Amino acid sequence: MGMLDGKVAIITGAGRGVGREEALLMAKEGCNLIINDIGGGASHLDKDAKIADTVVEECKALGVKAIANYDSVVDYNKTKGMIDQAISEFGKLDIVVNNAGILRDRMIFNMAEEEFDLVIAVHLKGTFNLTRHAGSYFREQGKAFPDLGNFGRIINTASDSGLYGNVGQSNYGAAKSGIATFTVIVSQELAKYATVNCVVPSARTRMTTDLTPKMANFMKMKTKEGFDIFNPEHFAPLVAYIASDAAKDINGEVFRAIGDKVWVYRGWKAVKKISNNMQTFTPQKLAERFPELMKDLPSKREGAATPDELMG
């Protein structure tokens, strides 16, 4: 018995890296799958159907049904087609994993409009597109069959760049931060019919090595016992669990996972304040008081895993 026996899932960007590992583990847990990947990888330029087809065959070899989908998540109507494809092929849909992504790293003073627009389109709008159509389906089914409860599962994917900010990734970071906030809001809107959660992988993929060369050596980190910390297969169990019925009470959360560790994150929080005795601040008074406000603030990267923590 697998945790996902008989379930049906759409996984976008499932041809390589984290998405592929998610698909393979969910297949092992008994889930039937729509494997979506345009075959363009992190560049989003070329198309190669073999990328999705290969993962489909790998999943079938694990004893489940799987079919490929080669459409871009940027297209609103084609994401609706993914929902229709799942229902046509399998009779239902239970799970959506929004994992498709690209990079166009550039310092803001060099970034072209299309480099910003495409990254936002694939990550943020793509997450909206599929969530919008899946959410509608889950609501319709939930209203027609109340005993289903919150049967649907939507899992969105953010990143460290969205949590902490990385130089050269204002487009990518903005999209990923937006996805985390989008998750929190939509989870409340769909709570009666589905859970909506967000995961933040830190794993060795082409996006974190080939397209981000400065990360390549860091992503090869192993413990002294030889544990390969950033192997993407370590991340997949978190997604498989959140997709299962065992996680029906987990909703609107953001989880970060690296190696053998999982963190839960809770949005923006105030860290310090000043007040002015019920009097409106003047610019001059603020200039006087701001050194007090800004003194001894926690690091903006507080909560980020350090190498020592990862090795422990």
CB atoms within 10 A of CB 172: 25
277 contact partners, CB below 8 Å, separation of at least 6: none
How far apart (Å, rounded) are the C-alpha atoms in residues 201 and 76?
Answer: 26
How far apart (Å, rounded) are the C-alpha atoms in residues 240 and 250?
Answer: 13
Catalytic residue among 72, 125, 161, 176: 176
Catalytic residue among 72, 125, 137, 172: 172
Task: Please give the single-letter amino acid code of residue 281.
Answer: F
Q: Provide the greatest CA pair distance for the chain.
A: 70
Task: Please give the single-letter amino acid code of residue 14.
Answer: A
Question: How far is C-alpha 198 from the chain's CA centre?
Answer: 6
Annotated active-site residue 70? The verdict is: no
Task: Please give the single-letter amino acid code of residue 271.
Answer: V
Phi, psi of 22 (to 5 degrees): -60, -45
CB atoms within 10 A of CB 110: 8
Annotated active-site residue 170? The verdict is: no
Radius of gyration of the chain (CA): 21
Closest to 57 measured CA to CA, from 48, 71, 41, 68? 68
With contact defined as beta carbons under 8 Å apart, do 28 and 66 qualify? no
How far apart (Å, rounded) are the C-alpha atoms in residues 105 and 207?
Answer: 10
Annotated active-site residue 43? The verdict is: no
The residue to which tokens 């087809």 are assigned: 53
**Partners of 35 in the β-ladder:** 11, 68
User: Active-site positions?
Assistant: 159, 172, 176
